[in-house]
Structures are given as structure tokens and as C-alpha cells.
Amino acid sequence: MVGDKDIIKAVRETPEHGFRLLMASYKEPVYWHIRRLVVSHADAQDAAQETFVRIFRNFSQYNEENSFKAWIFRIATNEALRLLGRQKGDMMLSLDEVTADMLGTKTDEYFDSSDAITMKLQQAILQLPAKQQLAFNLRYYDELSYDEIAEVAGSTAASMKVSYNIAKEKIIAYMNNND
Amino acid sequence: MDKQFNFEQVGKRMPYNVPDGFFDQLEQNVIAEVMPDDTVTEKSKVRARTVKMAIHTILAAAAAVALFFVVTKNLPSDDTQADTFEFVELAYNNLSNEDQEFLIDVYEEDVFIIENEEMNY
């Protein structure tokens, strides 16, 4: 597995080669992160594609003092929020403006309804406020540190740790009470 | 019996899937969008340079052949004077303005001609 430092160096030295390395490492995590927020495959595809275009075009703005992974997930999160905002008629939503009923309102053919417990878990996650949802997804699925999650959400590590723990408790309660 | 939910029951499984070959297609779509036509691979850059060099070589050879025919066609029939500077100049003066400009364009930066001229002086 190619590390982030190698990817950054490669993008700066030979952009096409470097960007292919970047996509090889991040196309799936970025897509699934967005998919968990917007649910629909078509929407996730659009937002993921736009995410990588923005990463490429704004690569010079990346500050190496910050986490590369967090920078990528921040752009991906913003693209998901931008897409949800467009669907609501606004240009861009902040995490605080996203309500649970706006997240994941659409399903499509790329949805497996045969696995009941995974469906229920996603429903439980989608019930959460956006900030808790983001904290839970980035920690549970993407295994980001609390510092990295804070960079993505524009918050503090302590706050994101609290959000994660609250989210986890709410999910457990939902899974136990909604049979 | 208290049946408590445990995250290990689900792990990272999700009820979502994607079309076959989706991630490869996603990568191709992004690369096509962010890499403009003039940002080509190193291999194709080398290929382009090779083709350009070949074209320049062919054009130079064609120009040399054209010069040979143009000059010899305009030389006087008296062979004893054919290689004198005056006759070359006369032949050059007999060319049309277009042909003269063409010759100047092709040979004014020819390092071999310039080098020979410098050695003669």
C-alpha cells in the first residue's frame, strides 16, 4: 500500500502518475464515505467524481502540516453537503444545517435489502444529527483519529470524541428498541 | 434474555453496492476530466517529440532537394562558369521573390552554411 507521503511526492513530481496512485488509494473510501451520507449511488458517483476533480485542481492548496487523509475527506464531505444543498435548493449546507430527514432519502437499484441488520444499522446512523453521523462514520468505517475527524468537521478532537460516543449510544439504543 | 446489539454482528458491512467495474470507470472519468489533452503521459511526450523530429528531418531533406532543382534549373548552360559565385548569385536573382524568400527562410539559420561562411572569411 502506497503511503500518503509517497502519493503527495508523486503528484508533485509527475501529476498523472501521482494522481493515479491517489485514486487507487482513495477512490473506494471516498465513494463509500459519500454514499453513506447521500445513500443514492448516482448522487454518490457525482459527488465522488467532483471530489477528485477538486482535489486535483486544488492540490497546491494542501498544507502538509495537516493530515492528507483528513483534507481529502473534508473535500468529500463538502461535496456531499453541496449535493444535498443543491437538492434542497441552496448552494451549500453546513453540518449544522443538515437534518436527519435530508440525509439518505433516496434508495436505488444498488441497494441490498436482503441483509436486514445492515439496513437497520444504516437507518440508525441516518437518524443521527449530521455532526454525530460524520463522527461515527469517520471513526467506525474509515478509522480516522479524533484529530483527523476534527479537521474534517472543522471542530475539536474533544468535541468529536463526545459526538462519536453519543452517536454510538444512540445507535445501540435504536438497534435494541426498533425490532 | 437481554439481546443487546453488538457492532461485531455487522462489522463494516453495508446494504449498498455498486455496478460492476464502477471504480475503474470512476477513475477513468476523473482522469479524463482533470488531464487536458496537452497534459499527456511521458511516453506519449517522447512519441510526439520523435514524430516532430522525423517531420523536421523530412522537411529539411525536401527543401534541400527543392533547392538543388531550383538552382540547377536557373543556372546558365555554360558549365565552365557554373560554380562561380557570380553565377550562383545570378541564379538566385532569377528566382521569383517567393522562391527567394523560401530559400532565406529555410537556410538563414542553417548552422552548417553559417559555419562555412564564417570559415571563408
Asked whether the beta carbons of residue B26 and residue A45 sit closer than 8 angstroms, the reply is yes
Q: Residues of B at the A interface (Cβ-Cβ below 8 Å)?
A: 3-5, 7, 9-10, 12-19, 22-23, 26-27, 29-31, 33-35, 39, 41-42
Which cell numbers in the block locate residue B71?
Answer: 538552382
CB contact under 8 A, B34 and A112: no
Minimal CA separation from A23 to chain B, in Å: 7
Tens-of-pLDDT digits for all 179 residues of chain A? 789 999 999 999 999 899 999 999 999 999 999 999 998 999 999 999 999 999 999 999 999 999 999 999 999 999 999 998 888 766 555 666 555 555 445 667 788 888 889 989 998 999 999 899 999 999 999 999 999 999 999 999 999 999 999 999 999 999 998 66
* Residue B1 confidence (pLDDT): 46
Whether A51 contacts A30, CB under 8 Å: yes
Instruction: Taking the CA atoms of B111, B115, B116 and B118 in sequence, report the sign of the dihedral they define.
Output: positive
A121:B10 CB<8 A: yes
pLDDT at res. A20 = 94
The pLDDT of residue B22 is 97
Could you say which DSSP state residue A154 is in?
T
SS (H, E, C) A11-69: HHHCHHHHHHHHHHHHHHHHHHHHHHHHCCHHHHHHHHHHHHHHHHHCHHHCCCCCCHH
Compute the half-sphere exposure of residue B38: CA atoms within 13 Å on the CB side of its CA: 0
Q: Is the pLDDT of residue B37 over 80?
A: no
More confident residue, B63 or A79: A79
Q: Is residue B5 scored above 80 in pLDDT?
A: yes
Q: Are B30 and A172 inside 8 Å of each other by CB? A: no
Higher pLDDT, B12 or B71: B12
CATH fold of A4-177 reads Rna Polymerase Sigma Factor; Chain: A (1.10.1740)
Nearest Cβ partner of B14 from A15, A24, A118?
Answer: A118
Q: Are A94 and A77 in contact (CB under 8 A)?
A: no
